[in-house]
Structure 1
Amino acid sequence: MKSLNTDVVIVGSGSSGISAGFELYQQKVPFILLERGDKVGGAGKFGSHGVFAINSQQQKDKKVKYGYQEAFEGMTDYNHYFVNGELLSRFLKESGENIERMEQMGLPVTVEQSEQKAHLNDPLVYHKFNNFTGKMANWDKLPKKFEAAGNMVLRQTAAVNLDYNDGLKAVIAEDSNGQKIRINTKKAIFADGGYCGDQEMMAEKYTDTDELLNLGEHKADGTGIKLAKKLGANTQHNPVLFAHGCAPSFQINPMARQSSVETLTNLPLLWLDQTGNRFVNEDVVYDFAMWANAAHNVQGRYYAIVDQETLNTFKTKEINLEDTIERQFCEVGVEPRTTVGPIPDIQADFDKAIQSGEVVKAETLEELSEKINLPLAALKRSIKVYNQAVKNKKDDTFLKPADELLFGVKDGPYYAIIEHCAILGTLDGVNVNRNCEPVKRDGSPLKDLYIVGNNVNGLYSDGYPSYEGIANGFAFVSGWIAAKEAVKSMNNEEVKN
């Protein structure tokens, strides 16, 4: 077996891994960064648009009043006290300084109002990447800096095992050719992003796994969680899905912005679950986390129902509804569009989606009921009640605002967009202490190991909350914490020796 030597092994090059690497690079501590994929980066690089923080210098300059007390009490209360209070506290207290660190990393962000319509009046805590394309390029420069300083970045190489006996001896890795590598090391930081890429783990925890649209890192297969559990780490926690928005399929991906089918997905039209009933105020579309949670709550799939008249209206007119994804694609300082249409290609887009299966078309409600397997009586009742709400501009059940009750479902042809709960990953795994060390059931730490980012339990009770950028912010900060603690531990060991 090939053998290498270093002080620290970092597993994963997403937000938490790259942050840990930057801290070690600054402190001139030798490390090896393992990346399973052929490119550096994870969900934080390829999908995230910003990070959460409090008490950053930018916030201080703007005299933002929302600080530690509000954030700590808000998160604790939101999660019904099912939180790791020490870890949450440390994250919040270091989140502001992390904003300055990110600028040093070449990943500058600017505090500005939330991207999402539902959060426009929230406290000013969201720090958005100044330039999404620039972020991608600058992320790729970091491994080059690491390597220039004498560290190793091994792509297409995954951790597969640990040599551990009352302390870490080595990380066993494997490259894409099946070659095993023994990396003798003092510390290991597992930043490999949860387990959304392990179908068996997903199915064990989520009954709607087959319906979920996985937009996360499929290479995140729970390795860090599994290896920590094997050594006795406590992995007991409610499953926490990183649910974020909804979409018809990978063919009509919200990140592509190429189909008006996706545009209608992002509006508060009529939604029915798999029993043919409405299940939520469709205005929830304006909060990505809650939108996805609503879909997850009805087994991961629902249907957006429109008629031909609705399509014809969008084709020729400007509609006073906001596309919920619009703000996400605006660079810092750019004003988003707050209307939709005209969409001259809408019929062609829907016809194409019918052929590929993302949309079902039917001339009658009876035919639609049969094609998408909805109970006909429930389907007819739901449409009748919704049409009355549109007519009266009053939604007695779900309380949708009157100015969003614009389109009834009257005459065929009818169209059903098949919607799936989209996920960016998972947010549960290993219980850790405030230093991001995995702990056993008695609370004692497994020394020499650190678990960070989406591998960690303790920030969320049962779902991703509406604190924009919280997962990515925690990833950067937890990687930083782990690296600092690893260095501190090694220095203490040297003093003792």
Structure 2
Amino acid sequence: MKQLKTDIVVVGAGASGIGAALSAAENNARVILLEKGNKFGGAGMFGAQGLFAAGSRLQKASHINYSPKDAYVEMVNYTHYRSNTRLTKAIIDKSADTIDWLAKNGLQTELVNNTQEVHQNHPRVYHQYIDKFNGFQRLMNHFASLGGQLLTDASINSIDYVDGNIMHVTITHNDAKQQIDCSKVIFADGGFVGNHKMVDSYLTIDRDYLYSMGERKATGDGIQILAQLNADTSGLGVFENHAASVVSKTDPKWHNDTIFTLTNLPFLWLNRRGQRFVNEDIVYDFALWGNITYTNGGYYYFILDQPTIDYLKTHRLDWTDSFERTFKTLSHQDMTHTVGPFPTIEKDLQDAINEGAAVKEQTLAQIANTLNFDYNTIQQTVLEYNQIINSGFDSDFNKSEEFLQFPVSQGPFYAVQAQSTTLGTIGGIAVDEALHVLDKNGQIIPNLYATGNNASGMYDTSYPTLEGISCAFAWNSGRIAGEDAAKSL
């Protein structure tokens, strides 16, 4: 078996792993970075477009008065103090420096508007990558120039850990077993959203209703190894709920632009009992939209009647697609705050029906029968909703008057299913503010670190509404762990 030797092994080459590996190498540590796939970057590169920071140089230059203290107070209030306050402070305090650190190492960012419509009155915190893919390559080039080694197609199998000391780790690299002698290991392999068995252990909804946009390679390898070493796993089970998606029952790659846009608008939503359950303009806050979908069993239906279809077919609607600002920000285009018209809407809805994602019936009674609703419940729900439309005041959930436009009155009726969507798991192993792994008694397990989606403590039960915070947690937790591991060699 081939033997390698280094100071630190970093498992996973996404944002937190690159942050850890490069920071350790900058502090004169020998580092081997393992990546299970054949490309580095992970969700931090292929999924994210930027990251959160508070008090950055870019914010100060734009006269944005939002300090790390402000961000800390907002975060711990959001979690109701059901989070690791020392870790939260460490991550936020590091965030501004990380923007400069990324730029120094080749990944520039720009301060842009917050990318969700509902957050426009919040101080700007979103630092969007510039020249993302080349920027990540420059980070890795610098890592290599400092003597760092990247091994792709490499996964960790086990740790030989005796009396607080790592003797070696065993990996599989290009289908061959190897051993690496090292002093410390930083687990940055992205949580466990790609492990169906682990997901099922913590999911409170049927997995059939969970649409995962997370990293498929994140199969919980690091978490499982650390659990065997008595690490505290009590924080596992938090999912990064994010919006809702209309999903084909047969084709995971299916996408229809019209259906996608309709999903991002505040029409009438019904839960699995045929009841209205929320102010539908929650659609403009992705985390809260994701949470309410998950809470209601992982899915709901948005309902359209034929007069609404006829209107949308030929008219522009002065509503904002909830994802428009995200896409316009990325491409530096101006907002339109309009959608439609949708001249092919009936064909597009039939496409969703063919994919098992929607149903069409002539009457509400037939809709109730097809979706297993109680007819009296859906009839009463629609009656009350139409009364709300007529009055222009939502006495149930306070929906904005501008969205009280379309009653549901004349068939045929369409019901389109929107499912719970996750970007990954954000609950992992318990850590302290230096990202040391903690055991079930809250004590440090020496020489082991967990970062990014492998670590718990930043969140309680929800992905926060601070834009870019999970990507910021990845970069900053990685940097903190890498620096700490290197200085204590």
Aligned to 1:445: 444
In 2, the alpha carbon distance for the partners of 1:238 and 1:150 equals 35
Given that 1:213 and 1:250 are in contact with CA atoms closer than 8 Å, whether structure 2 keeps it comes out as no
In 1, the alpha carbon distance for the partners of 2:7 and 2:374 equals 62
In 2, the alpha carbon distance for the partners of 1:408 and 1:316 equals 18
Task: Pick closer, same or farther for the CA change 1:71–1:383 going to 2, 3 Å.
Answer: same
Aligned to 1:344: 343
Task: Pick closer, same or farther for the CA change 1:386–1:282 going to 2, 3 Å.
Answer: same
In 2, the alpha carbon distance for the partners of 1:141 and 1:68 equals 28
Alignment deviations for residues 30-66 of structure 1 (CA, whole Å, 9 cap, x no partner): 2211111222222221222221111111112223222
Of 468-477 and 69-78, more deviation after overlay is shown by 69-78
Residue of structure 1 aligned with 2:192, choices 191, 195, 203: 195
Alignment deviations for residues 269-314 of structure 1 (CA, whole Å, 9 cap, x no partner): 1110101001110010000000000000001111111112222212
Given that 1:252 and 1:258 are in contact with CA atoms closer than 8 Å, whether structure 2 keeps it comes out as no
Alignment of 1:52-451 (within 5 A): 52-130=52-130, 134-147=131-144, 149-166=146-163, 167-175=165-173, 177=175, 179-208=176-205, 209-237=207-235, 239-249=237-247, 258-330=256-328, 331=330, 333-451=332-450
Question: How far apart are 1:176 and its partner, in Å?
Answer: 5.4
Of 192-201 and 396-405, more deviation after overlay is shown by 192-201
Q: What is the DSSP-based 3-state SS (H/G/I as helix, E as strand, rest coil) of the residue aligned with 2:156?
A: strand
Q: What amino acid sits opposite 1:437 in the alignment?
A: H
In 1, the alpha carbon distance for the partners of 2:125 and 2:29 equals 32
Alignment deviations for residues 176-229 of structure 1 (CA, whole Å, 9 cap, x no partner): 53x222111111111111111111221111121331111101211112111112
Q: What is the DSSP-based 3-state SS (H/G/I as helix, E as strand, rest coil) of the residue aligned with 2:429?
A: coil
In 1, the alpha carbon distance for the partners of 2:254 and 2:72 equals 36
In 2, the alpha carbon distance for the partners of 1:266 and 1:411 equals 23
TM-score (norm 1): 0.93
Given that 2:248 and 2:254 are in contact with CA atoms closer than 8 Å, whether structure 1 keeps it comes out as no
Question: How far apart are 1:258 and its partner, in Å?
Answer: 4.5
Of 327-336 and 403-412, more deviation after overlay is shown by 327-336
In 1, the alpha carbon distance for the partners of 2:144 and 2:66 equals 40
Alignment deviations for residues 105-163 of structure 1 (CA, whole Å, 9 cap, x no partner): 33322223211011010122221223xxx313432454454345543222222112111
Given that 2:28 and 2:486 are in contact with CA atoms closer than 8 Å, whether structure 1 keeps it comes out as no
Of 367-376 and 422-431, more deviation after overlay is shown by 367-376
Q: What amino acid sits opposite 2:403 in the alignment?
A: E
Q: What amino acid sits opposite 1:275 in the alignment?
A: R
In 1, the alpha carbon distance for the partners of 2:420 and 2:118 equals 19
In 2, the alpha carbon distance for the partners of 1:399 and 1:17 equals 44
Q: What amino acid sits opposite 1:69 in the alignment?
A: K
Question: How far apart are 1:240 and its partner, in Å?
Answer: 1.6
Question: How far apart are 1:430 and its partner, in Å?
Answer: 0.9
Q: What amino acid sits opposite 1:29 in the alignment?
A: A
In 1, the alpha carbon distance for the partners of 2:387 and 2:447 equals 63
Task: Pick closer, same or farther for the CA change 1:460–1:171 going to 2, 3 Å.
Answer: same
Q: What amino acid sits opposite 1:74 in the alignment?
A: E
Given that 1:242 and 1:464 are in contact with CA atoms closer than 8 Å, whether structure 2 keeps it comes out as yes
In 2, the alpha carbon distance for the partners of 1:255 and 1:48 equals 20
In 1, the alpha carbon distance for the partners of 2:346 and 2:173 equals 48
In 2, the alpha carbon distance for the partners of 1:85 and 1:444 equals 17
5+ long unaligned stretches in structure 1: 491-497
Aligned to 1:15: 15
Given that 2:117 and 2:285 are in contact with CA atoms closer than 8 Å, whether structure 1 keeps it comes out as yes
Alignment deviations for residues 407-430 of structure 1 (CA, whole Å, 9 cap, x no partner): 111111111111101100011111
Q: What amino acid sits opposite 1:38 in the alignment?
A: N
Q: What is the DSSP-based 3-state SS (H/G/I as helix, E as strand, rest coil) of the residue aligned with 1:201?
A: helix
TM-score (norm 2): 0.95
Question: How far apart are 1:238 and its partner, in Å?
Answer: 6.4
Task: Pick closer, same or farther for the CA change 1:305–1:254 going to 2, 3 Å.
Answer: farther
Q: What is the DSSP-based 3-state SS (H/G/I as helix, E as strand, rest coil) of the residue aligned with 2:409?
A: coil
In 2, the alpha carbon distance for the partners of 1:242 and 1:139 equals 24
Given that 2:26 and 2:146 are in contact with CA atoms closer than 8 Å, whether structure 1 keeps it comes out as no
In 2, the alpha carbon distance for the partners of 1:254 and 1:37 equals 21
Task: Pick closer, same or farther for the CA change 1:318–1:55 going to 2, 3 Å.
Answer: same
Q: What amino acid sits opposite 2:129 in the alignment?
A: F
How many residues were matched structurally? 486
In 2, the alpha carbon distance for the partners of 1:300 and 1:242 equals 13
Given that 2:319 and 2:339 are in contact with CA atoms closer than 8 Å, whether structure 1 keeps it comes out as yes
Given that 2:52 and 2:466 are in contact with CA atoms closer than 8 Å, whether structure 1 keeps it comes out as yes
Of 190-199 and 264-273, more deviation after overlay is shown by 190-199
Given that 1:189 and 1:451 are in contact with CA atoms closer than 8 Å, whether structure 2 keeps it comes out as yes
Q: What is the DSSP-based 3-state SS (H/G/I as helix, E as strand, rest coil) of the residue aligned with 2:194?
A: coil
In 2, the alpha carbon distance for the partners of 1:479 and 1:373 equals 48
Q: What amino acid sits opposite 2:10 in the alignment?
A: I
Question: How far apart are 1:332 and its partner, in Å?
Answer: 6.3
Aligned to 1:495: none
Given that 1:271 and 1:305 are in contact with CA atoms closer than 8 Å, whether structure 2 keeps it comes out as yes
Task: Pick closer, same or farther for the CA change 1:285–1:254 going to 2, 3 Å.
Answer: farther
Q: What amino acid sits opposite 2:201 in the alignment?
A: E
Given that 1:252 and 1:262 are in contact with CA atoms closer than 8 Å, whether structure 2 keeps it comes out as no
Q: What amino acid sits opposite 2:154 in the alignment?
A: T
Task: Pick closer, same or farther for the CA change 1:31–1:256 going to 2, 3 Å.
Answer: farther
Alignment deviations for residues 55-89 of structure 1 (CA, whole Å, 9 cap, x no partner): 11111222322212222222112211111111111
Question: How far apart are 1:441 and its partner, in Å?
Answer: 2.6
Task: Pick closer, same or farther for the CA change 1:443–1:38 going to 2, 3 Å.
Answer: same
Give the CA RMSD over aligned residues: 2.0
Given that 2:107 and 2:138 are in contact with CA atoms closer than 8 Å, whether structure 1 keeps it comes out as no
Alignment deviations for residues 331-353 of structure 1 (CA, whole Å, 9 cap, x no partner): 26432221101122222221211
